[in-house]
Chains A and B, each alone.
Chain A
């Protein structure tokens, strides 16, 4: 296409149109039903979102209650830096402190809930082949990335999670006051007895999957940026694949709902919210 002239509007149009059809590793699949890398049992017509986020990239999406959001750590170094909001009332959002306090544990894994600040389950972890994630360290920002990589602004090769969040949130009418503590999937920090935070090397392996069920209508915001405590001097993040497909909300016999009295009440509160 580089041989095509762009000297006139019509030639520029032809030049632009000739670019279509290029396939990249990191791009969305449209229509989503063209998705091919589906979990067994998932019909292509139920896929609502497939996209692979590159190193340093971001994405956001509103997902209906019941939707499954499957995150795949394609090559082991994705860091799914995640914020979640109630899509209908975004001033209700993920509360990491409540999430770990109510569930009496700081480490996430299959069966855990991601709780809002209004006592409801926004999403629950229906599948987790990794088992090592982070609820403590938050997001990188321009200063932390600049300190580690020499620069950290979004236009540089070393974009930071916080400013990725801000761009994504702006597209949903949200801004700086709406960025709260996030979680990091596929990257892990362990807490020592003296409170120390120890980075975990190789927390995830290629192909690891975390599947989240939307327990409410949610806005998810994802940045795929190196974890803020990743000690490696090189900016290291590999593609994060997103596959979302239609599903049912947690029913009365749902195992995650019934796993603890706190979870039962979190789902009671969700059910109550959708009554009126």
Chain B
């Protein structure tokens, strides 16, 4: 069985569709993706940052490491072929296909606490990705110590020659997607980013779609 109804130019997903749900705007999400299965995330309405941490499903202390991933490929951008490495240097997932030029893994996850630095204390009670991670992580016994480096699918963080960097206008669009093939059984924890103070969600958080096949 294949499905090809998520995006005009997304390749067909192979195998049985075992999961296909909408992650509502601002929502947390967690799901175990088994070795060999592919997780497709679809940016349904466009320019929606999807914050993501990946854990070894059988050993949560082994988790995604942005620096290990970047150092191994000697590039800060995640593109087709990028291997998401763990803190132990193992491949957790491989980015097998995407129609976005690159995805971010240096920008971290927004939080009420960092919002106070970035925008002022009036943002303390807005929703944030770290709170979402804690919310979804708790379903699987994860806590504050398990908050680590993350990926921001569909988010654009360029670095300029002098080191200047920041979250700028997005390069995604409605229907853009990313496919991640699990090399191990992995727990994928997502925050469908609720940030409203910068362009990571085009100032308008929207739903995304998660499909697991294989």
Contacts and interface: CB of A to CB of B under 8 A. Distances in A.
A95 B77 CA distance: 19
A227 to B, nearest CB: 9
Contacts of A96: 67, 108, 149
A229 B71 contact: yes
B123 to A, nearest CB: 11
A177 B145 contact: yes
20 contacts: A95-B108, A97-B106, A98-B114, A100-B106, A104-B166, A105-B162, A115-B117, A117-B130, A175-B61, A176-B87, A177-B60, A179-B87, A180-B149, A181-B67, A181-B149, A182-B67, A191-B76, A195-B159, A262-B117, A269-B116
Interface in B145-174: 145-150, 157-167
A179 B65 CA distance: 10
Contact of B114 (A102, A137, A142, A180): A102
A236 interface: no
Nearest to A90: B145
Interface residues of B, number: 51
A246 interface: no
B75 A194 contact: yes
Interface residues of A, number: 46
A136 B114 contact: no
B88 interface: yes
A102 B68 CA distance: 22
A196 B158 CA distance: 11
B70 A265 contact: no
B111 A197 contact: no
A141 B77 contact: no
Interface of B: 60-62, 65-68, 70-72, 74-77, 87-89, 102, 106-109, 111, 113-118, 120-121, 130, 143-150, 157-167
Contacts of B62: 176
Contacts of A266: 117
A262 B118 contact: yes
A106 B166 CA distance: 9
A239 interface: no
Contact of B117 (A106, A144, A265): A265
Contact of B163 (A139, A182, A191): A191
Interface string A151-167: 00000000000100000
Contacts of A137: 67, 70-71
A102 B117 contact: yes
A195 B106 CA distance: 11
B116 A229 contact: no
Interface in A98-139: 98, 100-102, 104-107, 115, 117-120, 136-139
Contacts of A136: 67, 70-71, 76, 106
Contacts of B75: 194-197
Contacts of B71: 136-138, 144, 197, 228-229
A118 B113 contact: yes
Nearest to B116: A119
Nearest to A118: B113
Contacts of B67: 96, 136-139, 181-182, 228
B74 A196 contact: yes
A105 B165 CA distance: 5
A106 B159 contact: yes
Given A106-B165, A228-B71, A197 B66 contact: no
Contacts of A143: 88-89
A229 B67 CA distance: 11
A193 B164 CA distance: 11
B149 A269 contact: no
A269 B117 CA distance: 9
B61 A176 contact: yes
A104 B148 contact: no
B108 A105 contact: no
Contacts of B161: 193
Report, nearest first, the 3 A-B pairs whose CB atoms are least far apart: A138-B67, A97-B108, A119-B113
Given A136-B67, A137-B70, A101 B108 contact: yes
B182 to A, nearest CB: 20
B116 A107 contact: no
